[in-house]
């Protein structure tokens, strides 16, 4: 006989989940004891939100459910931030919360709240684990988490249930998410007809492409027909940015320049476009028809034109579209090259002082092609969104559906754990850094050679820009006052302060060659944000 905590760990091993990110408490001690010596490693974080962020990244990079753990009450509320990230960024995740024993149900008890009500709005399913139903519940949890659209499942684990013994047998424990229904062939024929008639068809690639396994098919479709493409922030890398038909990223820096090129579009071929990143209504005219190709139907306001939806496996849909004859269109691709040059110049305005774009271009030049960049949320993300060449899918990790500050540092730590052979860099603003600076300790403890680049401009710059445009006072946005003095280390990680591009380049090269985490405080002039964003 085994206790239920050991059975849960057995289930995690069978699912293929390698890490459990979390924070211990009295009510989950049995669970952590069961992990000791198993094939699942417990990774102690400094804040439960980071446990959720790290589990999210594990899910993105492996395609298997990530896992995170908190104690009850405040631990559970802290973890909701990371779990919500997985919910809106469409990532499979299992979120465990410790809970009081069953005898305390319905009673007034210290730290006790209804976790299932707490997690219901940010998960696909919330359930309490029970003796004799552990394997069946865990199997269903994995299936629900992995099914389209993927997302988190919450598992509440009462303290006494974790201790109870059981002879439960796993049986056929092979999670099998419900497959996507076959796409409608008549809808595909209609899509082909609309595409052939269009004079200015524009492709829009989005978040769903990251899990569709259809990058090759998308690129072949775009290249064969020589179609211009816009992407969302999280779909960066699906289209090769060099010598390609990429127009730009919708909803990011200098979006008005991106829009200048695609303005003549008379049809949008939306492939894997998830409006959780950027709604159709924010950039598509009401009279502009959309062919929506995704795993779920289009979410769009009434009055907009969606004459055709092809719902199903995107890879299969694109394979079927590949049989089309090369379509004629009127796009001027020479003008597209000129457009790309204009956009680049707008993103890199002449600056006397060391500025964010100087650091980003230096990072791109030095970081190997397979390097992973995680980006926090803030003003710098808008520039990264347009300027950073990801050199392929999966190399750029960002929060956009949830858009949570504090994401960048834990995301980089998890990425390095999952992909130890690849260089990993986090790019964060000073606001996001201050939120999760404690997680530097986790990188030090695990001896993970991550380079943490902090753009220090002393303000919440994105909010400051918005205040300025509304002619509001610059109030409540100053982070570091005149008395701030840089440290030479954070929790054992060396800190290098770079006030110019050459200093920054030297520090960045040093960090990539090192065997320990390095923090680079890039002291940048934020003036270009006023112009670029």
- pLDDT for the residue numbered 498: 97
DSSP of 93-126:
EEEEEEE--GGGTTS--TT---HHHHHGGGSSEE
pLDDT digits (tens, 9 = 90+) for 90-106: 999 999 999 988 777 77
- pLDDT for the residue numbered 172: 87
**DSSP strand pairing (152-158 vs 201-205):** unpaired
Beta-carbon contacts of 255 under 8 Å, excluding residues fewer than 6 positions away, are: 248, 249, 283
Establish whether the linkage from the previous residue to 149 is cis, with ω within 30° of 0: yes
Do 325 and 225 form a contact (C-beta atoms < 8 A)? no
pLDDT digits (tens, 9 = 90+) for 370-407: 999 999 999 999 999 999 999 999 999 999 999 999 99
pLDDT < 50 positions in the chain: none
Q: How many residues does the chain have?
A: 533
CA angle 125, 129, 131 (to 5 degrees): 150
The model's pTM is 0.95
Structural domains of the chain ordered from first start: 2-166 (3.40.50.970), 185-338 (3.40.50.1220), 348-532 (3.40.50.970)
> Measured between alpha carbons, how far is 437 from 172 in angstroms, rounded to an integer?
43
- pLDDT for the residue numbered 392: 92
- pLDDT for the residue numbered 98: 96
Q: For residue 50, give Cα distances in angstroms to 57, 140, 233, 432, 436.
A: 11, 25, 22, 12, 8
- pLDDT for the residue numbered 241: 86
Q: For the beta carbon of residue 279, count every other beta carbon within 10 angstroms.
A: 13
Two structure tokens written together for 38: 């198993």
> Measured between alpha carbons, how far is 94 from 96 in angstroms, rounded to an integer?
6
Mean pLDDT across the chain: 95
144 sits in which H/E element: helix 134-146
- pLDDT for the residue numbered 481: 81
CA angle 369, 373, 376 (to 5 degrees): 160
């Amino acid at each position: 006989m085994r206790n239920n905590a050991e059975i849960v760990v057995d289930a995690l091993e069978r699912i293929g989940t390698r890490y459990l990110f979390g924070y211990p408490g009295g009510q989950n001690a049995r669970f952590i004891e069961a992990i000791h010596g198993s094939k699942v490693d417990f990774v102690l974080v400094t804040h439960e939100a980071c446990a959720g962020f790290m589990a999210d990244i594990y899910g993105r990079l492996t395609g298997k459910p990530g896992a995170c753990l908190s104690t009850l009450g405040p631990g559970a509320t802290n973890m909701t931030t990371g779990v919500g990230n997985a919910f809106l960024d469409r990532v499979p995740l299992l979120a465990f919360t410790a809970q009081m024993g069953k005898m305390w149900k319905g009673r007034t008890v210290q730290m006790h709240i209804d976790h299932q009500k707490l997690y219901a709005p940010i998960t696909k399913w919330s359930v309490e684990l029970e003796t004799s139903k552990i394997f069946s519940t865990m199997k269903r949890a994995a299936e629900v988490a992995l099914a389209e659209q993927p997302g988190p499942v919450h598992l509440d684990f009462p303290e006494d249930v974790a201790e109870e013994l059981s002879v439960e047998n796993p049986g056929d424990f092979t999670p099998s998410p419900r497959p996507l229904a076959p796409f409608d062939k008549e809808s595909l024929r209609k899509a082909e007809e609309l595409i052939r008639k269009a004079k200015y068809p524009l492709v829009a690639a989005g978040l769903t492409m990251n899990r569709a396994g259809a990058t090759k098919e998308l690129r072949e479709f775009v290249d064969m027909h020589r179609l211009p493409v816009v992407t969302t922030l999280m779909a960066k890398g699906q289209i090769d940015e060099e010598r390609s038909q990429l127009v730009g990223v919708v909803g990011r820096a200098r979006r008005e320049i991106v829009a200048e090129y695609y303005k003549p579009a008379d049809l949008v071929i939306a492939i894997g476009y998830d409006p959780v990143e950027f709604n159709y209504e924010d950039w598509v005219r009401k009279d502009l028809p959309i062919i929506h190709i995704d795993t779920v139907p289009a979410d769009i306001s009434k009055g907009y034109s969606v004459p055709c939806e092809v719902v199903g496996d995107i890879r299969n849909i694109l394979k079927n579209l590949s049989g089309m004859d090369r379509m004629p269109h009127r796009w001027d691709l020479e003008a597209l090259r000129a457009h790309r040059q204009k956009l680049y110049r707008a993103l890199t305005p002449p600056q006397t002082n060391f500025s964010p774009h100087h650091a980003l271009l230096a990072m791109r030049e030095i970081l190997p092609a397979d390097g992973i960049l995680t980006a926090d949320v803030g003003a710098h993300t808008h520039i990264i969104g347009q300027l950073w060449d990801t050199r392929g899918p999966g190399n750029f990790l960002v929060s956009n559906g949830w858009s949570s500050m504090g994401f960048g540092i834990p995301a980089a730590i998890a990425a390095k754990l999952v992909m130890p052979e690849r260089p990993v860099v986090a790019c964060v603003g000073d606001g996001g850094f201050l939120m999760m600076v404690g997680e530097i300790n986790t990188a030090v403890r695990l001896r993970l050679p991550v380079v943490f680049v902090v753009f220090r401009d002393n303000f919440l710059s994105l909010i400051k820009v918005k205040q300025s445009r509304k002619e509001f006072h610059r109030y409540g946005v100053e982070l570091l006052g005149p008395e701030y003095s840089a440290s030479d280390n954070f929790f054992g990680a060396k800190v290098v302060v770079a006030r110019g591009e050459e200093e920054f380049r030297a520090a960045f090269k040093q960090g990539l060659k090192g065997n320990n985490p390095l923090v680079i405080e890039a002291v940048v002039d934020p003036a270009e944000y006023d112009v670029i964003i």
